[in-house]
A and B are shown apart, each in its own frame.
Chain A
Amino acid sequence: MTAPRLAVWKFSSCDGCQLTLLDLEDELVSLSGELEIGYFLEATSDTLPPPYDLSLVEGSVAAGADLERIRWIREQSRHLVTIGACATAGGVQALRNLSPLPEYQSVVYARPDYLDSLDDSTPISAHVPVDFELRGCPIDKRQLLEVITAFLADRKPDIPTHSVCFECKLRGTTCVTVAHGTPCLGPVTHAGCGALCPAYGRGCYGCFGPVPTTPGGGGPNTRAMLPLLRRDGLSEADIARLYRTFNAEAPEFAEAARQAEEEAR
């Protein structure tokens, strides 16, 4: 039996999530024993032909050429996992979805006519079916390893969908909101980072995106967060800005920012 063939793809992104794979220093050797690297330009310019057993896709769909490329990648991939805020929610570059593109293209670029930009930056799942979405900006390396090992063992990855608060409580971090009055998005943010920021006394700014919304009425209660964030000193404009970062266009965070702006009026 040959090892499953791995491919790592980049769309509009900073490369940080792919680098997380190279950052798995202690595991890289056994990883390369279990997986055959088929396409991973960040690591090697040698490539192997498709199909690929596991494709990790970083980045958002933001340029015209991306549309066809992601469909081709999907066709060539048995299992497709999107990694990071760009691939799962459109990334920080999705902030451009909020205003007309030509206006700042002309400010930034001398020859905007050379550009092939789409109006919106969108997640991979808006274009092709995705088998698993791994959140974070950047993703957490332990979680990436868990997704890969789960794939190799043909089991469900253990990636909890609860709030960052769970991770604070499990690691014994004192709540920064309750004990210090620090504004924190932890209660509405998807776990995964291990509650990194609160462990250093900072509030969570939501880089793992919202906790999931379910048909039965589950989801981030961002309305109930408004009075809390105000109590901790944020204005409505601050609150809108807080939600509009790496996951600005995750629908729940986009809605939360709108709620804050609506309250300001």
Chain B
Amino acid sequence: MNAPAPLAEIDESGLAALFDALVRRGRTVVGPTVKDDAIVLAELGSAAELPHGWGVETEPGGYRLRPRTDRAAFAHSAGPQSWKTFLHPPRARLWQADRASDGTVTVREDDAPAPRYAFLGVRPCDLRAIAVQDRVLTAGAYRDPVYGRRRDGVFLIVVECTEPGGVCFCTSMGTGPGLPEGSAFDLALTETAGPGGLSYLIRAGSPEGSELLAELPARPTDGVRARAAVAGAAGRMGREVDASDLRALMAGTMTAERWNQVADRCLTCGNCTMVCPTCFCTTTEETTDLTGDHAERWRRWDSCFDLDFSHLHGVGPVRSSARSRYRQWLTHKLGTWYDQFGSSGCVGCGRCIAWCPVGIDITEEVTALRAESGAAGAR
């Protein structure tokens, strides 16, 4: 009775069956698909919309779709969006108010239930990013209602990484390419492509996951091929970085010369923060209609690269220079995040490196800051 549960695998038709089972349960399935020469995350109608046969090449400031020689659907690294697009949407209306002709004002909060999402193809680094945003947006004294409504009951299907990209460094951050012990998920898959087609090592991480797995046409496997694919990925990371004691490094390099060098290259365009799966900053916008009888409050993504982000009344932007804005991003992500939320704000997904138009590389900046502080310490 106490024998370990055997490992199970499904094939491509099993993946389609999984998709259909999610739809039958009323889930809105979000996953990767090819659009505009990139692998983006979108609501999918069927498993056929997955990016079968597509891979990507990434480098600082560059991303290209590349056809693969196999039909793998998950052999690609992070694209231009992350799951925060769905959990922490770019724009959300918070409430609206109407003034009647007698002057009474009625306020209506926007609290419509969110879609019941199933996220198909969450990479281990991105699973950690969701956990980081959970901590930021729901674990404090004030739970964010927009995020909370969307996050509650998301069905998470992780797919371990077998094809890391040129800008990935999850191994350095301890978040991938395999699923770390103790992760919270519903189902986890590991994709391998072989002569017999695609196969997916599959295991459940929750009661709902087990229930769904029981409905799938699974067969037993030793899991050796899948394990080897993940282990191989760990050895092919595009980048690595010494992530030890980042908090102290950030706190100790506030006056470093390196910030000037990176500021010479930085466009302060804000792309890095918006593609980062953990950045959470927003601003509010108030709108009225022409009559002034209808008002709405919205919130939208903001970024510490926006001049208005640090605008103080009567003073103007406190962080104006590229130096101070870039430093805010890096020191928050890697330093003060520990003070606020007890972890790193970086999970090593590499998005900020690929989607920075001028290819500023967070791992290179950390290495340079370390070298500069080491040299200063040695003097």
Instruction: Name A residues whose Cβ lies closer than 8 Å to a Cβ of B.
Output: 27, 30-31, 33-34, 145-146, 148-150, 152-153, 155, 158, 160-163, 165-166, 169-175, 177-181, 184, 186-188, 201, 211-212, 214-218, 220-221, 223-225, 227-228, 231
13 contacts between A and B (CB under 8 A): A27-B290, A30-B290, A33-B290, A146-B287, A160-B308, A165-B271, A170-B300, A170-B301, A175-B271, A212-B307, A215-B316, A221-B322, A228-B358
Q: Which of B13-21, B126-134, B259-267, B368-376 contacts A (4 or more CB under 8 A)?
A: B259-267
**Residues of B contacting A186 in the complex (Cβ-Cβ under 8 angstroms):** 269
**Residues of B contacting A217 in the complex (Cβ-Cβ under 8 angstroms):** 320-323
| Nearest neighbor of A214 in chain B, beta-carbon distance | B320
B307 A162 Cβ-Cβ under 8 A: yes
A214 B316 Cβ-Cβ under 8 A: yes
Q: Which of the residues A175, A218, A220 comes within 8 Å of B357, measured between beta carbons?
A: A175
Given A162-B307, A162-B308, A218-B268, decide whether A34 and B301 contact each other with a Cβ distance below 8 A: no
Q: Which of B36-44, B206-214, B218-226 contacts A (4 or more CB under 8 A)?
A: B36-44
Whether a CB of chain A sits under 8 angstroms from the CB of B175 is no
Q: Which of B59-67, B68-76, B188-196, B337-345 contacts A (4 or more CB under 8 A)?
A: B59-67
Given A163-B269, A217-B322, decide whether A169 and B90 contact each other with a Cβ distance below 8 A: yes
Given A169-B90, A218-B307, decide whether A153 and B267 contact each other with a Cβ distance below 8 A: no
A231–B358 Cα distance when bound, in Å, is 10
B38 A179 Cβ-Cβ under 8 A: yes
A69–B48 Cα distance when bound, in Å, is 65
A149–B267 Cα distance when bound, in Å, is 33
- Given contact pairs A152-B292, A161-B306, A223-B264, enumerate 16 new A-B contacts (beta carbons under 8 Å): A148-B290, A149-B289, A153-B292, A158-B286, A165-B357, A166-B269, A166-B303, A169-B301, A170-B301, A177-B61, A178-B355, A179-B80, A184-B357, A215-B320, A221-B264, A221-B322
Whether a CB of chain A sits under 8 angstroms from the CB of B138 is no
Whether a CB of chain A sits under 8 angstroms from the CB of B183 is no
B358 A224 Cβ-Cβ under 8 A: yes
A223–B265 Cα distance when bound, in Å, is 8
| Nearest neighbor of B265 in chain A, beta-carbon distance | A224
Whether a CB of chain A sits under 8 angstroms from the CB of B274 is yes
A171 B322 Cβ-Cβ under 8 A: no
A179 B63 Cβ-Cβ under 8 A: yes
| Nearest neighbor of A158 in chain B, beta-carbon distance | B285
| Nearest neighbor of A225 in chain B, beta-carbon distance | B267
- Bitwise, B286-297 to A at CB < 8 A (1) or not (0) is 111111100000
Q: Which of the residues B90, B270, B290, B300 comes within 8 Å of A165, measured between beta carbons?
A: B270
**Residues of B contacting A184 in the complex (Cβ-Cβ under 8 angstroms):** 357
A-B pair number, CB within 8 angstroms: 156
B357 A228 Cβ-Cβ under 8 A: yes
Chain A CB within 10 Å, residue with most, of B35, B40, B289: B289
A169 B274 Cβ-Cβ under 8 A: yes
| Nearest neighbor of B301 in chain A, beta-carbon distance | A170
A149–B268 Cα distance when bound, in Å, is 30
A149–B289 Cα distance when bound, in Å, is 6
Whether a CB of chain A sits under 8 angstroms from the CB of B81 is yes
Given A172-B81, A215-B320, A225-B267, decide whether A201 and B36 contact each other with a Cβ distance below 8 A: yes
A166 B306 Cβ-Cβ under 8 A: yes
Given A149-B290, A172-B81, A172-B90, decide whether A166 and B274 contact each other with a Cβ distance below 8 A: yes
A146–B298 Cα distance when bound, in Å, is 14
**Residues of B contacting A187 in the complex (Cβ-Cβ under 8 angstroms):** 267, 269, 271, 357
B288 A149 Cβ-Cβ under 8 A: yes
| Nearest neighbor of A176 in chain B, beta-carbon distance | B36
**Residues of A contacting B357 in the complex (Cβ-Cβ under 8 angstroms):** 165, 175, 177-178, 184, 187, 228
**Residues of A contacting B270 in the complex (Cβ-Cβ under 8 angstroms):** 162-163, 165-166, 169
| Nearest neighbor of B79 in chain A, beta-carbon distance | A174
Whether a CB of chain A sits under 8 angstroms from the CB of B85 is yes
B321 A218 Cβ-Cβ under 8 A: yes
A153 B80 Cβ-Cβ under 8 A: no
Chain A CB within 10 Å, residue with most, of B62, B290, B303, B318: B290
Given A163-B269, A214-B316, decide whether A155 and B286 contact each other with a Cβ distance below 8 A: yes
Chain A CB within 10 Å, residue with most, of B40, B81, B286, B357: B357
**Residues of B contacting A214 in the complex (Cβ-Cβ under 8 angstroms):** 307, 316-317, 320
| Nearest neighbor of B40 in chain A, beta-carbon distance | A174
Whether a CB of chain A sits under 8 angstroms from the CB of B275 is yes
| Nearest neighbor of A188 in chain B, beta-carbon distance | B267
**Residues of B contacting A27 in the complex (Cβ-Cβ under 8 angstroms):** 290
B267 A224 Cβ-Cβ under 8 A: yes
Chain A CB within 10 Å, residue with most, of B79, B270, B308, B318: B270
Q: Closest Cβ of chain A: how far from B55's Cβ, in Å?
A: 14
B268 A228 Cβ-Cβ under 8 A: no
Whether a CB of chain A sits under 8 angstroms from the CB of B354 is yes
A-facing residues in B310-333 (Cβ within 8 Å)? 316-325
Q: Closest Cβ of chain A: how far from B351's Cβ, in Å?
A: 10
A174 B265 Cβ-Cβ under 8 A: no
Whether a CB of chain A sits under 8 angstroms from the CB of B91 is yes
| Nearest neighbor of A217 in chain B, beta-carbon distance | B321
B320 A218 Cβ-Cβ under 8 A: yes
A174–B78 Cα distance when bound, in Å, is 13
**Residues of A contacting B355 in the complex (Cβ-Cβ under 8 angstroms):** 175, 178
A31–B285 Cα distance when bound, in Å, is 22
**Residues of B contacting A175 in the complex (Cβ-Cβ under 8 angstroms):** 63, 80, 271, 355, 357
Chain B CB within 10 Å, residue with most, of A30, A146, A187, A220: A187
A217–B291 Cα distance when bound, in Å, is 40
B301 A161 Cβ-Cβ under 8 A: no
